[in-house]
Amino acid sequence: MPKIRKEFHWDRVISCYAERPQNVNAMMALVFASSPEKPALVDGARRTTYSELDRIVNALATGLSSKGVRQGDRVAVMLANQAEAVLSVLAIARLGAILVPLGTRLKKPEISYIFEDADPVAIIYSPAFAQEIPDAGPTSGMRFECGNAAWRQMLEKQVEPLPAMAAVKIDEHDLFGILYTSGTTGKPKGAMLTHLNVVHSCMHWQDAHQLTRDERTLVCVPWSHVAGLCGVVLPFLSIAGALVLMAEFGRRDFLVLAQQERITHALMVPAMYGLCLLEPDLESFDLGQWRIGAYGSAPMPEPTIQRFAQAFPKLQMCNCYGATETTSPATMMPRGDGVAHAESIGKTVPCGDIRVMDDQGRELPAGEEGELWIGGPMVVPGYWQNPEANATSFGGGYWKSGDIGAIDADGYVRIADRKKDMVNRGGFKVYPAEVESVLTGIDGVVEAAVIGHPDEILGESVIAFLNVVSDDIDEAMVRAYCAERMADYKVPGRVVIGKTPLPRNANGKIQKADLRETAKSLPPSSRTHKVASKSVKGAAA
C-alpha cells in the first residue's frame, strides 16, 4: 500500500499519499511517456493510442491558447461521451485553465445560470446542443463547435508546444474544474475541484480496486458528472487503461459492446444493472474478462447483486459512495465483499476520514446513526464564489454530507436515509426546490410540491402536486412547460392537479410525508415508466 502521511492543506490537516503527481498534467505526462502505443480511446470505429492522444491534446491546447484562453480561465464543455470530450478535458488542463462541464440534458435557463456564475471565456460544444447555448456568455470567437472545419483543422495541425504552455506552473491547490451540483435551495453550486482532489481520487480508485495497465473500462455514465469524470475517465487514463466510450446507455448495446471490447470494468448506476437483467439471454454474453462491476449514486437492490453474481461468477460487485464535493468516491467496497455486505456502501477510502455526528456536532459511537461528515484530500475546498454555502456545508475540515448513516465496528459504512427531499432518479439527483420553482412560474399555479416515489427500475420517480386556480392547466401542459426549462430527468413523470391547498403544518410548511402517503394510492401511470426508461440513458453515477 502506498505511504500515507498527514499534511496541511487549506485550513485542514489531512491524510495524503506521500508520493503523488503534483497535478493532472504531471499524472498524464507519465502515461504518455511510458505507454505511447497502448490504446487510449475507443469511440465507435475510431481508436486512439496514447501517443496520438498526446499529439491531439497538444494541438487543441495550442489552438485554444492562440485564441486567447489563459491559465485560470474557465472553459465550458458541452459534449456527449465521445473522444472530443476527453481531448477537451486534457487540453484545458494542459493550459492550466479550469474545466466547467455542462450536462448534455441541461436547458438554456440552467446553462445561463452557470454562465453567469462561472463566467467562462470559451465553450466547446456539439452542434446537437447548439440550440441550448445562451447568447450571453463567451463571444463568438471563443465558441468552438466540435466537428466543423475549423475544429478539424485545429486538431489535425502538427504543432510544437507553445512556450507559454511550457511555462505554465500548476500548483496542486489550483483549480482543475468547477462542477455544478444542485442544492436543496434549488440554486446550483459550483464545487471547486483542485488538482490535489483529482489526483487523490484517481489514486483511490487505483488503490482500492488494484487496477492494472491492462484495464478496459466502458464509459456509459456521463463524463460531465463527477462519477464519469473522476470515477472513470481520469482514473483509467492515469493507469494507461483503455476507455470504451458509449454515447448513451442501452442495455443490449452495453452488453454487446462489453463483450466485443472485452471490458474488465464498468461503473454504472443500479438502474443500469437492473435493466441488463431484463435481457432474457443475459448469461449467453461472454463477459469473462469483466471483473469489477462498480456502482453508486443509489441503493442497489440485493436481488440484483445476487442475480449478477449468478450470471457472471467472476464479476465482483463493488459499491461506491461519494458526491461532487468529494471528487467521486468517499467509500468503496473492498473487492470480494459486495455480496456479503450488500447493505453497506463499503469502507472509507485510504486517505479519507468519515465521522458520524449528531445534531450538536458530537461524534457518535460505532453503529449509531447520525450525519456523515467527510474529510480528506478528495474533499473540495468549497464552492465557487459562495461563502454562504461554504459556511453552511463545511466545518472543521469536513464536508457535511446531509446523509444519515452509521459505521459499524468493522468499518463498513451504511446509509440509513438521504436528505429528506432529494429524489434519486436513475442516479440523477433531483432537488424538489428547483423543480417547484419552475412549476410555480406557470400562470394559475398557486403552490407546488415535488416528492420522490419508489420505482422498481429507477429507484425513484418524480411526482408533482399542484394547487391551481385555472381550468386550463393539465398534466401534458405542465410537463411540456418543464421540459423547455430543465433537464428531462427533472421533469415530473406524474403531475397531480387539484384546486385545494396542499397540506401544511402549523408553521406553514408543506407536509410532504402526507403527499407521499397520497402517492401510494395513485393509480398506475403508463407514462411514468415510459419516461423513466428514457431517463436511464446516460444516467449518472
Name the residue among 478, 506, 512 with its Cα closest to residue 492: 478
If one counts every other C-beta atom within 10 angstroms of the C-beta of residue 71, the result is 16
Burial readout 101-112 (b: 16 or more C-beta within 10 A, e: otherwise)? bbbbbbbeebbb
Distance CA(49)–CA(229), nearest Å, equals 19
Instruction: Supply the pLDDT for residue 123.
Output: 98
Fold of 423-535: GMP Synthetase; Chain A, domain 3 (3.30.300)
Pairing of strands 216-219, 242-245: parallel
Q: What is the mean pLDDT of each run of 10 residues along the chain (541 residues)?
A: 94 97 96 97 97 96 94 98 98 97 94 96 97 92 95 87 70 97 71 98 94 96 95 98 95 96 94 86 93 81 79 89 94 84 90 96 94 97 96 95 91 76 83 84 88 87 92 94 94 94 70 89 58 37 31
What is the sign, positive or negative, of the torsion defined by CA atoms of 155, 90, 42, 271? negative
Instruction: Supply the pLDDT for residue 182.
Output: 63
Instruction: Supply the pLDDT for residue 24.
Output: 97
Those residues with Cβ within 8 angstroms of residue 248's Cβ, 6 or more apart along the chain or in another chain: 80, 81, 537, 538
Instruction: Supply the pLDDT for residue 529.
Output: 36
Distance CA(356)–CA(429), nearest Å, equals 23
Instruction: Supply the pLDDT for residue 508.
Output: 56
For residue 174, the SS3 value is coil
Identify whether the C-beta of residue 448 lies closer than 8 Å to the C-beta of residue 473: no
How many CA atoms are closer than 13 Å to the CA of 483, on its beta-carbon side? 9
Distance CA(494)–CA(482), nearest Å, equals 12
What is the sign, positive or negative, of the torsion defined by CA atoms of 221, 227, 229, 233? negative
For residue 270, the SS3 value is helix
Domain locations in the chain as residue ranges? 423-535
User: Hey, what's the cell of 225?
Assistant: 458528472
Instruction: Supply the pLDDT for residue 122.
Output: 98
Instruction: Supply the pLDDT for residue 168.
Output: 83
Amino acid at 46: R
Q: Which residues pair with 415 in a beta bridge?
A: 405
